Amino acid sequence: MRPTVKKPTDPEALVDLLTTAIALHEAGDFRPAAALYAQLLRSEPNHATALHLLGVLNHQQGDHVRALELIDRAVRLQPDAAEMHANLAEVHRASGRFEEAISCCRAALRLAPALAEARNNLGLALQANGELDAAAEELRRLVELDPHSATAHNNLGMVLREQGCLNEAEAEFAAALRCDPRLAAAQCNLGQLLLDRGRNSEGLARCEEAARLNPGHAASRHALGNALRAAGRDVDALKEYEAAARLDPKLAEPLAQAGLILQAQGKFDTALWWLERAARLDSGNPVAWQRLAELHERRDDFPRASAAWGRAVALAPRQADLRVGWGWAMQEQGRLNDAAEQFRSALEIDPRWAPAHLNLGGLHEELGEMSAAEAEYRQAIAADPRFAIPHGRLATLLRGRLSEQDLAALTHCLGNPELPDEPRCQLLFALSQVLDARREYEAAAANSRSANALRQACSIRQFREYSCVEHSRLIDRLIGGFTSELFRRLQGAGSSTARPVFVFGLPRSGTTLVEQILSNHSAVFGAGELRFARNYFARLTPTSTLSAERLPFLASLTPESVQRAANRHLTDLDSLDGGKSARIVDKMPDNYLYLGLLAVLFPKAAFIHCRRDMRDCALSCWMTDFRSITWASDAANIGSRFRDYRRLMQHWESVLPATIHHVDYEQTTVDLDSVARHLVAACGLEWEPRCLEFHRNVRPVRTASLTQVRMPIYTSSVNRWKNYEHLLPELLRELPEL
């Protein structure tokens, strides 16, 4: 006897089909459940329950558009079904349509005033719409109706936390956990709240429990990452952020936090990958673009930083700090008018925004407008006397001319025990400069020692610890790779232009002074400290090859690749002055490291080596706040760096197929005329007397010595080291023998 087979259109068969689909759905087997819902709807297209549940399933899988279509059809077919209205509200809320969500919840509650799900969804929709008081009222009513609902207590806690009612929020999260200790969301929310209140160990315990209860919940893993980071366990925090990103690739904040940890570790390229993804996911959040901009600045990529700041400002045009950030990135590119416009826009938004006055002061200093710079620093101080950095900038500008009142204000700032390390460091360096100018050498030495110790600690946190051993290995590879044989093999491969002028040497050796002299010539453009050579060398020498004994790219250099690189460099130079000047000066001191490569690219360029008594160079580096020169804050590192500089220069002298023109700082101070004529001749130019009036040059200057190059030549910096011979013995004894 054959069994009776029910047709799919039979009512009993449809009930069986729906029952099976619901069971699969509740078990989390979404794909077969969806297939059965679809099969049922092919037989009965207007089956309201199937439409509704298939819509819920699509919503659970993140397809809110399809979910909205299905549940809306179900509601139209069965308008008196309160649960359908409640679920339609959730789809609207997930899609960002909060007003529609609120309307659907109210419709559900009119049909079923005791429907807890509808009231809960109404509270969440009101919260998302910014109606926090109304949201709290609805969720309190829900708690009254069902005091044992852990979800209701948890959601009320979230609203109270957003309102700033932290004690009440903590009590609600605790109540949620009394109702259901296994509710991971409540553990997570309580943990986050405890972190916000500074109770890090308690918060960590709660976040760990949330992740244990629901390891597949991205928000819990993200919260645990925050707790671990607050505990100083960045390595463990990074793992949790990575886990959260894997669990929910659309969640931006774990990506951002992972990027910030990697940035703090000095892994800028890896951090960039994370922060760029975060910004794309959270493209409407100005903070996401601000973080990306700040990372680009750390990578010295100011064009990209400027673009990211621009995105942030477009999203929040009335936020003064974003305007200042954008202006700073423009200033670093030499776009001084654009930078000034942003700083002034910030002051239009908030006339007392001290950082805008501070940066305008720095802009005036670059332009040689020292009185205007002083006025802006004083306005920054007047706007916010507790803002420490303008006190330091004013002191560095005026030095020996700083008034007793200004000095007292600076020392008062230093006396603040809550002053962060970075501004404290800047103030200590500034105070050292003032004391040095007052010839109070013992006090200046003591302050500079404290300043450098703090700068070293800040540099390790912000970048990574400088390794003199690693740098010495780089020097070994340069000496071993750039040989006479290499230069013979590539002879004639480079560009025949004499346009580039490379001015190099140790920091504080007079490179800015030489550039000022040359740039006062009518045929010369002073470009400042360019990163072109360093960036090109870095592209050729990836980090993975730094431990190798040789530089692998040297073997692959061909006349064609050399010519391409030279042309690209020349194009970059043209972008600075429009190709107008016969000569363009790059006065990056560290270019002495890349002389071999530069001589291959531009054998007819002028190579000008600035030399100065190493004791004066070392002291000047020690007394200057070089935030990006991480070796300058440690006496042993200065000594090692100087020794490596000396042996590399000796190598270049013996193998470089180009003439190196030497300029001694001490000779420049006593015989400017001869030195200036020598410099102009080295560049292949006719003499112009105006080169002697370098201090009248109104071009922008970006250097730690910008005040000095605005003055006529002076000799007081020669043999300055003698003032500190017995006060800083640890600095001078590390230097190579003269």
Mean per-residue pLDDT pooled into runs of 10, the chain (738 residues): 40 82 88 90 90 91 90 92 91 89 92 90 90 92 92 93 92 94 93 91 93 92 93 93 93 94 88 96 95 92 94 96 96 90 96 96 91 96 94 95 96 93 95 96 96 87 78 93 94 94 95 92 91 83 54 87 92 90 95 96 96 95 89 94 96 95 94 95 95 70 52 72 93 82
Map out the domains of the chain with their CATH numbers: 11-229 (1.25.40.10), 493-613+638-732 (3.40.50.300)
Q: Per DSSP, what are the bridge partners of residue 502?
A: 586, 607
Q: Is 664 helix (H, G, I), strand (E, B) or coil?
A: strand
pLDDT at 246: 94
Give the Å distances, CA to CA, from 195 to 23, 199, 206, 234, 400.
Answer: 40, 5, 10, 15, 47
Q: Is 440 helix (H, G, I), strand (E, B) or coil?
A: coil
Rounded (5°) CA angle 656-660-661: 175
pLDDT at 202: 93
Exposed, middle or buried, 306 (CB in 10 Å: 0-12/13-18/19+)? buried
> How do the residues of the chain divide into helix, strand and coil, expressed in percent and rounded to 5?
70, 5, 25
Sign of CA dihedral 475, 481, 485, 490: negative
DSSP 346-406: HHHH-TT-HHHHHHHHHHHHHTT-HHHHHHHHHHHHHH-TT-HHHHHHHHHHHGGG--HHH
Of 640, 642, 621, the closest CA to residue 632 belongs to: 621
User: One-letter amino acid identity for 139?
Assistant: L
pLDDT at 8: 47
User: One-letter amino acid identity for 159?
Assistant: V
Rounded to 5 degrees, φ, ψ at 627 are: -70, -30
Exposed, middle or buried, 250 (CB in 10 Å: 0-12/13-18/19+)? exposed
User: Taking a C-beta distance cutoff of 8 angstroms, is the pair 125, 88 a contact?
Assistant: no
Of 252, 165, 332, 450, the closest CA to residue 241 belongs to: 252
Of 317, 308, 273, the closest CA to residue 289 belongs to: 308
Q: For tokens 């016969």, what's the residue?
A: 582
N residues, the chain: 738
pLDDT at 395: 96
pLDDT at 700: 58
CA distance linking residue 96 with residue 63, whole number of Å = 13
DSSP 582-629: SEEEE--GGGGGGHHHHHHH-TTSEEEEEE--HHHHHHHHHHS--SS-
Of 518, 709, 503, the closest CA to residue 587 belongs to: 503
CA distance linking residue 621 with residue 721, whole number of Å = 11
User: Taking a C-beta distance cutoff of 8 angstroms, is the pair 392, 426 a contact?
Assistant: yes
User: One-letter amino acid identity for 50?
Assistant: A
CA distance linking residue 396 with residue 362, whole number of Å = 11
Q: Is 503 helix (H, G, I), strand (E, B) or coil?
A: strand
